[in-house]
A and B are shown apart, each in its own frame.
Chain A
Amino acid sequence: MLSYFFRRFGQAIFVILAMIVLVFFGVNVVGDPIWMLISPEMDQQAIAATAAALGLDKPIGEQFFFFIKGLFQGDLGRSFVHGEPAILLILGRMGATMELAIAALLMAIIIGLPLGMYAGLHPDRRASRTIMAGSILGFSLPTFWVGLMLIMIFSVMIGWLPASGRGPTDTVLGIQTSLLSLEGWRHIALPALNLALLKISLMIRLARSGTREAMSMDYVKFARAKGLKESVIIRVHILKNILIPIVTVLGLEFGSLVAFSVVTETIFSWPGMGKLLLEAIQRLDRPVIVAYVMVVVVLFVFINLIIDILYSVLDPRVRLTEAKA
């Protein structure tokens, strides 16, 4: 178990290092950001001075060396546009993104799990077919367009929910959150639903196939034979068993929620780090792009690592095959 843990941990570190190199050189071959930062009236000397101040005049190898050195000091460079340390900018916006991603994840579970289980328990009913057709539609709908439609219907036409912003925030234990007020919930409802849509579809499919599989198992048939109530069978025998794969997949999907929040945050003007990334891309603000990618990759790698380890704890078969390999 311990050796498995260390090996996975080593792999995780290797992935992060590989991404650092890829992203740094990838982003730094892009056009010259200096042209975005200077005004046309500047003379050659002023341009050179600006470049020197940002370290852009040095050869790329040297820039990389300074970047790595800074990395170990927790410094990913200063934003060309904002003039603040890039990592602080990202971390400052991270709370809003996490709030949105968690709200979307909860929504996917609350809506998707019951619908999927229903479709799995009664595969031949008309309602189940509607649910499954809906999930195909959910996979096909482009996220950004659904966001626009949500704004059109709920904000413009009916006028129930606000179309943009985060609403008032309260500070709890040093974390800003908008989930403590009704106004905050009204603001997060549409963006969270938008972000959750794909995951609801995924959840429905997972829950349905899991339920169908569990239904054909001997222990469920035996529970029926014992005369247990249907509600008990669903809760104890089916739900518990389909939860392991669902928790795993949802954990992995959390990272993709964070990534897709770039789209949702842009549409709903949600002040998260995805919106920051997009602004950085449009303005060639390299340090912010690199810092965003670093933060997200570290997040990803560690989510994967935690899930892998949890999984091997929950399911001994994984551990055994890994040990043999």
Chain B
Amino acid sequence: MSSSPGQSLSTAPTQGPVSARVETPFQRFAAAFLEDRVAVAGLALLAFIILSSLIAPWITPQNPYDLTRVDLLDSRMPPGSQTMEGFTAWLGTDGVGRDLYSGILYGLRISLVVGVVSGLIAATLGMSIGLISAYVGGKLDTFIMRLVDLQLSLPSILVALILVAALGKGVDKIIIALIVVQWAYYARTVRGTALVERNKEYVDAARALGLSKSRIIFRHILPNCLAPVIVVLTVQTAHAISLEATLSFLGVGLPQTEPSLGVLIANGFQYMLSDRYWISFFPGVALLLTIVAINLVGDRIRDVLNPRLEK
């Protein structure tokens, strides 16, 4: 309430003739985001990682799934070796002769897809449940929130392990497990925000206009709950990628036919003690950079969207 009307965006359109310099909420958000150099570096790194995984087939010397291009004679070569296929394996090769640099970029694709897809579905599901819980209230609300409390009191790795024990291996099953692990965070976040929004005047106004319940929930309340959801989404995506890697490393996640970064690291584990560090080391660095980049971006988004920190 401390901001003067000229600066406040919500009142700006009512000011009559507005100057050309009115910012959209996104522009304002982007400008605030770019003020932090570390976060910009994180965003650049993240963009670089995503882009290179997308164009992997054009910037790697080898398709690691194409068995005709993989030579067993090339296995376990240290970084910088010349392969039988005629290219230089700058990051070395793994136990069956695959180029690690190529393997990492292709593996990144799987890790990112699993993390992002599970995150988006969990966000949609969790948001819907949280909104309904907040708007309907009563017994349903109590029941859903008890369920959320129960699940959040157990560590995610434990829930995920039980789920993969029940579901088995495979990309679809890991995604299901990750959705179940994550939905509760979104449900709780959205419910908290929606409870506050529900009592605001614009909702009363919408109700007075005779709009339907679902329209009020999804068109009026939902857009105002999105800020915290975006924050949770970034944090949870990093968490999901890490969790998938952990499960795959333990041998209960993705199968060998879908070599995510976790599978690559697991494959290198057996060579660790014989000093062939690179097979596990480089995929791990890629995983770490991805998670750090997402966390840096997420931290900044949280600071920018937090109204209490506004200058």
Contact = CB atoms under 8 A, between A and B. Distances in A.
B110 to A, nearest CB: 16
A255 B272 contact: no
A52 interface: no
Contacts of A143: 246
Most A-side CB within 10 Å, residue of B166, B251, B265: B166
Interface string A11-38: 0000100110001001101110000000
A243 B33 CA distance: 35
Contacts of B269: 148, 267
Interface string B263-284: 0010011001101010011001
A281 B265 contact: no
A136 B295 contact: yes
Nearest to A137: B292
Contacts of A29: 166
A152 B157 CA distance: 25
B245 A144 contact: yes
A302 to B, nearest CB: 12
Interface stretch (A79-87, A167-175, A256-264, A309-317): A256-264
Interface string A163-185: 10000000000000000000000
Interface residues of B, number: 39
Contact of B166 (A15, A26, A163): A26
A211 interface: no
B245 A139 contact: no
A145 B296 CA distance: 20
Nearest to B243: A142
B5 interface: no
Nearest to B147: A18
A145 B288 contact: yes
A270 interface: no
A190 interface: no
Interface stretch (B10-18, B50-58, B148-156): B148-156
B250 A142 contact: no
Contacts of B275: 156-157
Contacts of A278: 161, 250-252
Nearest to A15: B150
Contact of A142 (B165, B166, B245, B273): B245
Secondary structure dominating the interface of A: helix
A263 B275 CA distance: 22
A300 B163 CA distance: 18
Contact of A151 (B250, B272, B292): B272
Nearest to B252: A281
26 contacts: A15-B150, A26-B163, A27-B166, A136-B295, A136-B296, A137-B292, A139-B295, A140-B288, A141-B288, A142-B245, A144-B249, A148-B280, A148-B281, A148-B284, A151-B273, A152-B281, A156-B275, A255-B155, A259-B158, A262-B158, A262-B250, A278-B251, A280-B165, A282-B252, A293-B158, A293-B162
Interface of B: 150, 153-155, 157-158, 161-168, 238, 242, 245-246, 249-252, 265, 268-269, 272-273, 275, 277, 280-281, 284, 287-288, 291-292, 295-296, 299
Interface of A: 15, 18-19, 23, 26-27, 29-31, 136-137, 139-145, 148-149, 151-152, 155-157, 163, 255-256, 259-260, 262-263, 266-267, 277-278, 280-282, 289, 293, 296-297, 300, 304
